[in-house]
Amino acid sequence: MQAYVKQQKMKYTKRTLQLSVVLLLASVLLVLYHFGFVFNIDCIYKSCSQYARCCPKLVGNFHPDLRLISSEEMANKFYWVHEGGRYSLSDVSSDVTRVAILIPFRKREEHLQILLNNLHPFLYKQQLDYTVYVVDQVDEKPFNKGKLYNIGYTEAKKNNHTCYVFHDVDLIPENDHNLYGCVRSPMHLSRAIDKYNYSLPDDKLIGGVSAWRTEEFERVNGWSNLFWFWGGEDDDMSYRIMANRLPIYRFQNSVARYRMLKHSQSTVNTARHRILKDSHIRYKFDGLSSLVYIPPDIQQSLLYTRILVKL
Ligand code: UD2
Ligand code: MN
């Protein structure tokens, strides 16, 4: 009998010991998480210096400023911005990520003013080396967002950028932990938008705001040039990503938050579903590889570089 009691006692002590080890480990992880050393995507910057430099300035959630501010007032506030909407880090080492923000645009002046007033401080707090480009379709043809993006990418690439953020003009970020420096690629940055109750209807979506390194963007051959009017080009991009077995990275819902500024519905591309049928094959010859365009005028304004495109 005594041997049995002794054996039971040994078993109980062993189990208590195991439990206390697990509890200890969990509390250590919790402390580390709290101090941002574990699972904190902010630390996935390529170089510690970049991480160390930026994170103290980040606040997480913030209320965007939706007032209309003049360009002159913004230029006074944003002392770090050079002509053409550029901020260059003093650190010129090769591993610095050089970010191009590409905004497809036609007659959305108020949205652009509001976006610029929020985006410049947002990018500066993240301590990114960046340039803001507005790819302005200045003709009367139907709008073609994909082709504007491809032209903007091709022109911006001449300035040795390594990361390209494709950015709707009406999406205003609400959390500065949503890093724009291509910590992963491709990255879908706008997964949580107020218009869609801050939830993602479908995890294949890449519309709104996305960040790409050169390698992955050229692997999918950029955006399709074939989608005129509203709709389809972002769905086509989802097929390109799947055809190339690329993951779509995202920050969590609480970080990747945006406000969408109100606007009317543009004229829908009624042919989009037909064009989408062969996206997974056509992508190889419809995109950057088939891009032909009239060399655009390029104007350096106070807060951005304007690429004037006639399609
Ligand atoms: C959705 C997508 C958008 C695009 C569009 C279909 C999200 C969050 N956004 O946007 O990425 O795929 O559907 O084409 O899923 N624009 C102008 N002037 C115009 C029309 C468009 O500047 O007259 C630009 C502007 O940057 C705008 C973007 O194109 O943000 C997308 O157009 P939208 O905002 O009218 O369409 P929306 O919100 O349905
Ligand atoms: Mn919109």
Ligand nearest to the CA of 231: 1
What spacing in Å lies between the alpha carbon of 205 and ligand 2's midpoint? 14
Place of tokens 């967002």: 145
What is the pLDDT at residue 75?
96
* Whether the Cβ atoms of residue 275 and residue 225 lie closer than 8 Å to each other: no
Quick one: which atom of ligand 1 is closest to the CA of 190?
A: 8
Distance between CA atoms of residues 278 and 144, nearest Å: 19
Distances in Å between the Cα of 229 and the Cα atoms of 11, 202, 308 are: 72, 22, 18
Classify residue 163 as exposed, middle or buried by CB count within 10 Å of its CB (0-12, 13-18, 19+). buried
Place of tokens 């590409």: 102
236 lines ligand 1 (CB under 6 A): no
What spacing in Å lies between the alpha carbon of 168 and ligand 2's midpoint? 7
Give pTM, 2 decimals. 0.86
All residues at 6 or more sequence positions from 153 whose CB lies less than 8 Å from its CB, including other chains: 100, 102, 164, 217, 222, 288
Distance between CA atoms of residues 121 and 254, nearest Å: 20
Eight-state DSSP code of residue 76? H
What is the pLDDT at residue 146?
98
Q: What does the block give as tokens for 127?
A: 């301590």
Where exactly are the structural domains of the chain? Answer: 35-309
Distance between CA atoms of residues 81 and 71, nearest Å: 12
What spacing in Å lies between the alpha carbon of 207 and ligand 2's midpoint? 10
Nearest CA residue ID for atom 8, ligand 1? 208
What is the pLDDT at residue 96?
85
Distances in Å between the Cα of 62 and the Cα atoms of 75, 115, 124, 154 are: 22, 14, 15, 33
Instruction: Print burial letters for 131-158: b (CB count within 10 Å at least 16), e (below 16).
Output: bbbbbbbeeeeebbbbbbbbbbbebbbe
Torsion 42-198-99-231 (CA) sign: positive
Ligand nearest to the CA of 237: 1
145 lines ligand 1 (CB under 6 A): yes
Nearest CA residue ID for atom 28, ligand 1? 168
Quick one: which atom of ligand 1 is closest to the CA of 171?
A: 30
Among 145, 167, 171, 263, name the best residue to mutate to test ligand 1's pocket (greatest count of ligand atoms within 8 A of Cβ). Answer: 145
Average pLDDT, consecutive stretches of 10 residues, N- to C-terminus, the chain (311 residues): 73 78 69 42 41 71 97 97 94 82 98 98 94 98 98 98 98 94 94 96 95 98 98 98 95 94 96 96 98 98 97 97
CATH fold, domain 35-309, is Spore Coat Polysaccharide Biosynthesis Protein SpsA; Chain A (3.90.550)
* Whether the Cβ atoms of residue 126 and residue 179 lie closer than 8 Å to each other: yes
Among 266, 273, 308, 311, name the best residue to mutate to test ligand 1's pocket (greatest count of ligand atoms within 8 A of Cβ). Answer: 266
Place of tokens 């491709």: 186
Nearest CA residue ID for atom 4, ligand 1? 207
User: For strand 297-300 and strand 305-309, is the pairing parallel, antiparallel, or unpaired?
Assistant: antiparallel
What is the pLDDT at residue 214?
98
What spacing in Å lies between the alpha carbon of 263 and ligand 2's midpoint? 7
Distance between CA atoms of residues 236 and 146, nearest Å: 10
Length of the chain: 311
Torsion 45-47-50-52 (CA) sign: positive
Place of tokens 């480009």: 133
152 lines ligand 1 (CB under 6 A): no
Cα atoms in the 13 Å half-sphere on the side-chain side of 270:
0
* Whether the Cβ atoms of residue 66 and residue 114 lie closer than 8 Å to each other: yes
Residue 99, classed as helix, strand or coil, is strand
